[in-house]
C-alpha cells in the first residue's frame, strides 16, 4: 500500500540529518514543508520535485519508498517473463496468463499483459493462440502514441515476432526519432535496445536486410559498456546478419563467440537456445547454396 508522501519526505530528510531550518531560503519554505510532512497540506508536483532536489533525493528513490519498496507491477511481470524466456515452464506461464485474463474484466489495459504472456507461451508452443488477439487494434494503439514509456517499450519489444514487419519498422523509425527522450532514463534505454535487437533479428529472418542494417547501426550508438547482456546479443545478431548477407566465416565467428560468452557465464539455457538456432540457420544456409 502506498505511504503518505509527506511522511516519506520527512523520513528521507531526517535520514540525511537535514533539519527544516537547514532548508530555509530554499525554493520551498520550511513552513510549507512542515505542513506537508504533517499531512496538513499537499505540495504541487513542481514544488515536490524542488523539495526533493533540496534534500538530494531522486524522484525514483522517493517513489520506491512511497510504494514501501513494493515491486512495480509491470517490471515484476517483465522480469518473470524474461526469466522464463529460456525455460519451457509452460504451467507457470499459463498461471500468469490466467491471472491477467481475470484482471482484464476490471482493468482493460491489462489485455496488453495478456498479449506479452501469450507471446512467451507461443515461443515454446507454436499451436498456442493468443486470446482475442486483434493485430490492427494493437498496431493502431501503438501508432497513436506520441510518447512511449517503459510499459509501451516492453510491449513493443514483445510484439516484434507477431506484428506485421512493415508496421514494426514504421514504429521503430517513430521511436528512434525521439530516442533522446527514452535514453535519458537508463532502464528505458535498456528496454529500447532489447526491442531494437528483437526487431533487427526479425528483419534479418524475413530478409528485410536494409532495415536490419540500419537498426543495428542505431543499436551500436545506444550500447553502453555496462549493458553486457545486450552487447552479447548484439554480437550474436551481427553474426546472424553476416551469415544472411553471405559473410559466412564472420557470421560463424561472431555467433559462436556470443554463445561461448553465455556458456562461460553459466547461462546454459540461453546458450543452448541460441546454439540450436545458430545450427538451424547455418545448415539451412548451406543447403540453400
pLDDT digits (tens, 9 = 90+) for 164-218: 888 888 888 888 888 877 777 888 888 889 989 999 999 999 999 999 999 999 9
Backbone angles phi, psi at 259, to 5 degrees: -60, -40
Q: Tell me if 121 is assigned to some domain.
A: no
Backbone angles phi, psi at 268, to 5 degrees: -65, -40
In this predicted model, what pLDDT tens digit does every residue of 49-60 receive, in sequence order? Answer: 999 999 998 887
Q: Tell me if 16 is assigned to some domain.
A: yes
Three cell numbers, residue 188: 528505458
In this predicted model, what pLDDT tens digit does every residue of 231-250 receive, in sequence order? Answer: 999 999 999 999 999 999 99
Domain limit, last residue, from 48, 66, 84: 66
Range of the domain at 276: 223-289
Taking CA atoms, 288 is separated from 80, 223, 281, 282, in Å, by 38, 34, 10, 10
Q: What is the CATH number of the domain that holds 10?
A: 1.10.260.40
State how far the Cα of 218 lies from the Cα of 189, in Å rounded to an integer.
12
User: Strand runs (DSSP E) across the chain, as ranges?
Assistant: none
In this predicted model, what pLDDT tens digit does every residue of 91-104 receive, in sequence order? Answer: 888 888 888 888 88
Q: Tell me if 96 is assigned to some domain.
A: no
Q: Tell me if 186 is assigned to some domain.
A: no
Q: Tell me if 256 is assigned to some domain.
A: yes
Classify residue 249 by burial, with Cβ atoms within 10 Å: 0-12, 13-18, 19+: exposed
State how far the Cα of 247 lies from the Cα of 156, in Å rounded to an integer.
30
In this predicted model, what pLDDT tens digit does every residue of 70-99 receive, in sequence order? Answer: 555 666 777 777 766 666 678 888 888 888
Q: Tell me if 201 is assigned to some domain.
A: no
Q: Tell me if 18 is assigned to some domain.
A: yes
Domain limit, last residue, from 21, 37, 66: 66
Q: Tell me if 174 is assigned to some domain.
A: no
pLDDT higher at 132 or 289: 132
- Per the document, the length of the chain is 289
The number of distinct structural domains making up the chain is: 2
Three cell numbers, residue 39: 499531512
pTM of the model: 0.72
Amino acid at each position: 500500500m502506498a505511504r503518505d508522501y509527506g511522511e516519506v519526505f520527512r523520513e528521507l530528510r531526517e535520514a540525511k540529518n537535514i533539519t527544516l531550518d537547514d532548508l530555509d531560503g530554499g525554493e520551498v519554505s520550511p513552513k510549507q514543508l512542515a505542513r506537508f510532512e504533517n499531512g496538513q497540506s499537499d505540495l504541487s508536483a513542481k514544488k515536490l520535485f524542488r523539495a526533493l532536489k533540496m534534500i538530494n533525493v531522486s524522484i525514483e528513490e522517493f517513489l520506491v519508498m512511497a510504494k514501501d519498496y513494493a515491486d512495480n507491477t509491470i517490471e515484476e511481470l517483465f522480469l518473470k517473463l524474461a526469466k522464463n524466456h529460456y525455460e519451457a515452464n509452460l504451467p507457470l506461464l499459463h498461471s500468469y496468463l490466467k491471472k491477467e485474463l481475470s484482471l482484464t474484466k476490471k482493468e482493460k489495459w491489462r489485455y496488453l499483459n495478456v498479449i506479452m504472456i501469450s507471446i512467451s507461451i507461443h515461443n515454446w508452443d507454436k499451436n498456442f493462440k493468443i486470446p482475442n488477439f486483434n493485430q490492427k487494434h494493437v498496431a493502431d494503439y501503438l501508432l497513436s502514441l506520441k510518447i512511449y514509456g517503459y510499459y509501451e517499450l516492453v510491449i513493443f519489444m514483445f510484439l516484434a515476432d507477431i506484428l506485421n514487419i512493415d508496421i514494426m519498422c514504421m514504429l521503430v523509425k517513430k521511436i528512434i526519432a525521439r530516442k533522446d527522450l527514452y535514453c535519458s532514463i537508463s532502464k528505458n534505454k535498456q528496454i529500447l535496445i532489447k526491442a531494437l535487437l528483437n526487431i533487427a533479428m526479425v528483419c534479418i529472418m524475413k530478409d528485410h536486410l536494409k532495415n536490419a542494417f540500419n537498426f543495428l547501426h542505431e543499436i551500436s550508438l545506444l550500447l553502453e559498456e555496462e549493458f553486457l547482456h545486450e552487447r552479447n546479443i548484439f554480437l550474436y545478431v551481427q553474426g546472424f546478419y553476416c551469415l544472411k548477407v553471405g559473410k559466412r566465416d564472420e557470421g560463424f565467428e561472431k555467433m559462436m563467440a556470443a554463445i561461448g560468452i553465455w556458456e562461460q557465464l553459466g547461462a546454459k539455457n540461453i546458450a543452448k537456445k541460441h546454439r540450436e538456432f545458430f545450427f538451424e540457420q547455418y545448415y539451412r544456409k548451406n543447403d540453400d547454396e
